[in-house]
């Protein structure tokens, strides 16, 4: 949503279009960034199913990327990653 | 039952860009629940973290028809939507098969929305009510609710010199719903995607009112590191603090029995709201809480035994 609406243009009954939150990027909340190691990732999709921000993108049963526009850096993906001894997702400081 | 790979093919019905806290359990519940439904779905939500943070004007994170009315009436609102749909279908004005899911936090379900939920369940509307239970009014900064467990420190019942957190025990809402004689009531958790999606899928295959109570760890209100959400959910099941079970037409089935029942302290330890329980003078209270969990777990096992359904 680029410009603010005046009262005449406001939708009646606060009706909103579906899925517009996708235009709002929450990535700048992050202080740590998850980095995925494609070599060790076993594509178990745990990070996908447990991501609160729908930031893990999956295509054809494989994790293709982490969308940093939405990722808030909670670290759940690192926590649930079952790869041993070194996890395939590592949280790295943004600085 | 859908596998993870099958679920991943389905469209995500909640977009990113919503304003829930990092590491919040509620969007995890919503994503998994909506993924488990193959049919078109209409969602209603009670006022609460979920509703407030996903629909901040002019943005909405929902890719499904979504309706919000007030704090106390998500179940009543959903009843109306479902009744209108049934009527229009009877008149031949719409076709197809649409499912109805109402979401409510523990405040909007256990306390404020209880009468509307009870009414909707009693009238027998074909809908699923999912309660995301984070055990206090987290949206307005952690006031105690009917779902807050005994001993938990909240802003309205803090631990101090006079009290050691909440004095009363938690309301058992799942049992209240079982007492409504609905076809399906279940309890599950954030941290077991298989159990959650299985239960939602099963609920969708049943006609009539359904209820699922999901324990949702809340990093802000419970006071733990935000990456531990899934781990704490699993611990709640492993310590039998939050047993996973389902009740189909009065028949109890245990969905998960921990290999080794862990002591309750393991679940309480990472949470700041239970910090005071680990002082030496509160040893007795901690023991009482453990005894309470044990008693309820034994009782539940006996109920399941009655039907020979314990796994």
Of A89-93, B7-11, B171-175, the least confident? B7-11
**How many other C-beta atoms can be found within 10 angstroms of the C-beta atom of residue A15?**
9
Using a CB-CB cut-off of 8 Å, the residues of chain A touching B15 are: 19, 21-22, 54
pLDDT in tens, B56-89: 988 999 999 999 999 999 999 999 999 999 999 9
Residue A79, domain member (yes or no): yes
Please enumerate in sequence order all residues whose Cβ is within 8 A of that of B49, keeping only pairs 6 or more positions apart, or say none. Answer: B20, B24, B26, B105, B134, B138, B139
Minimum CA–CA partner of A43 in chain B: B5
**pLDDT at position B47:** 95
* Chain mean position to CA B19: 20
Residue A30, domain member (yes or no): no
Domain count, chain A: 1
| In the block, residue with structure tokens 């609710």 | B145
Q: What's the pTM?
A: 0.94
Q: How many residues belong to chain B? A: 311
User: In what helix (H) or strand (E) does residue B128 lie, and over which residues does it extend?
Assistant: strand B128-133
With H, G, I as helix, E, B as strand and everything else as coil, classify residue B45.
strand
What's the DSSP call for residue B261? P
**pLDDT at position A11:** 80
Split at pLDDT 50, 70, 90, the class of B35 is: very high
Q: Is the distance from CB of A41 to CB of A80 less than 8 angstroms?
A: no
| In the block, residue with structure tokens 């909440």 | B166
DSSP bridge partners of B245: B187, B254
Per-residue burial over B136-163, b = 16 or more CB atoms within 10 Å of its CB, e = otherwise: bbbbeebbbbbbbbebbbbeebbbeeee
User: In what helix (H) or strand (E) does residue A38 lie, and over which residues does it extend?
Assistant: none
Residue A15, domain member (yes or no): no
**pLDDT at position B66:** 95
A-B interface: how many C-beta pairs under 8 angstroms? 126
Residue A58, domain member (yes or no): yes
Q: Is the distance from CB of B24 to CB of B18 less than 8 angstroms?
A: no
State the virtual CA torsion across A19, B129, B141, B35 in degrees, nearest 10: -40
What's the rounded Cα separation, in Å, for the pair A13 and A33?
39
- Based on C-alpha coordinates, what's the Rg of chain B? 19
Burial class (CB in 10 A: 0-12, 13-18, 19+), A62: middle
**pLDDT at position B206:** 96
Domain of A65, CATH number, reads 3.30.70.20
Minimum CA–CA partner of B194 in chain A: A49
Task: Please report the sign of the dihedral spanned by the C-alpha atoms of residue B156, residue B162, residue B164, residue B166.
Answer: negative
36-55 in chain A: CB under 8 A from chain B: 44-46, 48-55
Residue A21, domain member (yes or no): no
The beta-carbon neighbor of A14 closest among B15, B23, B57 is: B57
Of A12-16, B182-186, B257-261, B271-275, the least confident? A12-16
**How many other C-beta atoms can be found within 10 angstroms of the C-beta atom of residue B262?**
15
User: In what helix (H) or strand (E) does residue A93 lie, and over which residues does it extend?
Assistant: strand A89-93
What's the rounded Cα separation, in Å, for the pair B157 and B166?
6
Task: Decide if B59 and A23 are in contact by the 8 Å CB cutoff.
Answer: yes
* CA-wise closest residue to B187 among B231, B146, B130, B271: B130
The beta-carbon neighbor of B4 closest among A45, A51, A74 is: A45
Per-residue burial over B88-112, b = 16 or more CB atoms within 10 Å of its CB, e = otherwise: eeeeeeeeeebbbbbbbbbbbbbbb
What's the rounded Cα separation, in Å, for the pair B106 and B216?
10
Q: How many CA atoms lie within 13 A of B77 on its CB side?
A: 22
Q: Is B55 in the A-facing interface, judged by CB distances under 8 Å?
A: yes
What's the DSSP call for residue B212? E
Split at pLDDT 50, 70, 90, the class of B2 is: confident
Name the E strands within B152-288: 184-189, 210-215, 245-248, 251-254
Residue A29, domain member (yes or no): no
Please enumerate in sequence order all residues whose Cβ is within 8 A of that of B287, keeping only pairs 6 or more positions apart, or say none. Answer: none
**pLDDT at position A41:** 95
* Domain enclosing residue A56, as ranges: 38-95
Q: Is B23 in the A-facing interface, judged by CB distances under 8 Å?
A: yes
Minimum CA–CA partner of A79 in chain B: B227
Percent of chain B at pLDDT above 90? Answer: 93
Task: Decide if A21 and B66 are in contact by the 8 Å CB cutoff.
Answer: no
**pLDDT at position B101:** 97
Using omega within 30 degrees of 0 as the cis cutoff, is the peptide bond preceding B58 cis? yes
**pLDDT at position B139:** 93
What's the rounded Cα separation, in Å, for the pair B131 and B176?
13
What's the rounded Cα separation, in Å, for the pair B200 and B2?
11
The beta-carbon neighbor of B59 closest among A11, A20, A72 is: A20
Residue A50, domain member (yes or no): yes
**pLDDT at position A7:** 84
- The whole-number mean pLDDT for each consecutive block of 10 residues of chain A, a chain of 95 residues, reads 75 86 93 95 95 94 94 96 95 90
- Residue B310: pLDDT over 80: no
Residue A70, domain member (yes or no): yes
What's the rounded Cα separation, in Å, for the pair B165 and B155?
9
């Amino acid at each position: 949503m680029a410009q603010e609406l005046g009262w005449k243009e406001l939708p009646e009954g606060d009706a909103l279009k579906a899925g517009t939150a996708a235009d709002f990027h929450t990535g700048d909340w992050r202080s740590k960034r998850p980095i995925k190691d494609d070599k060790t990732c076993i594509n178990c999709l745990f990070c996908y199913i447990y991501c609160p921000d729908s930031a893990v993108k999956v295509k054809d049963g494989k994790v293709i990327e982490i969308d940093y526009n939405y990722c808030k850096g909670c670290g759940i993906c690192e926590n649930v990653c079952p790869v041993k001894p070194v996890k395939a997702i590592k949280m790295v400081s943004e600085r | 039952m859908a596998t993870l790979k099958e679920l991943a093919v389905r469209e995500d019905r909640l977009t990113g860009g919503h304003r829930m806290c990092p590491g919040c359990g509620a969007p995890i519940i919503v994503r998994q629940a909506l993924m488990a439904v193959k049919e078109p779905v209409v969602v209603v939500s009670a006022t609460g973290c979920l509703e407030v943070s996903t629909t901040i004007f002019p943005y909405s994170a929902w890719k499904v028809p979504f309706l919000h009315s007030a704090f106390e009436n998500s179940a009543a609102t959903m009843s109306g939507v479902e009744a209108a749909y049934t009527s229009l279908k009877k008149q031949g004005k719409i076709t197809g098969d649409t499912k109805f899911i109402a979401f409510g936090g523990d405040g909007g379900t256990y306390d404020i929305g209880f009468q509307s939920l009870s009414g909707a369940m009693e009238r027998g509307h074909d809908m699923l009510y999912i309660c995301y239970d984070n055990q206090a009014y987290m949206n307005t900064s952690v006031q105690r609710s009917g779902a807050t467990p005994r001993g938990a420190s909240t802003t309205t019942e803090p631990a101090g010199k006079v009290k050691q957190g909440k004095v009363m025990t938690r309301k058992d809402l799942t049992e209240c719903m079982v007492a409504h004689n609905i076809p399906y009531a279940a309890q599950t958790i954030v941290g077991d995607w298989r159990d959650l999606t299985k239960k939602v899928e099963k609920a969708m295959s049943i006609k009539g009112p359904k209820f699922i109570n999901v324990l949702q760890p809340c990093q802000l209100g419970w006071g733990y590191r935000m990456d531990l959400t899934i781990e704490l959910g699993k611990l709640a099941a492993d310590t039998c603090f939050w047993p996973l079970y389902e009740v189909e037409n009065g028949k109890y089935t245990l969905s998960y029995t921990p290999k080794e029942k862990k002591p309750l302290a393991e679940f309480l330890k990472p949470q700041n709201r239970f910090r005071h329980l680990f002082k030496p003078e509160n040893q007795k209270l901690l023991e009482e809480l453990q005894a309470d969990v044990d008693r309820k777990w034994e009782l539940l096992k006996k109920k399941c035994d009655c039907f020979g359904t314990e796994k």
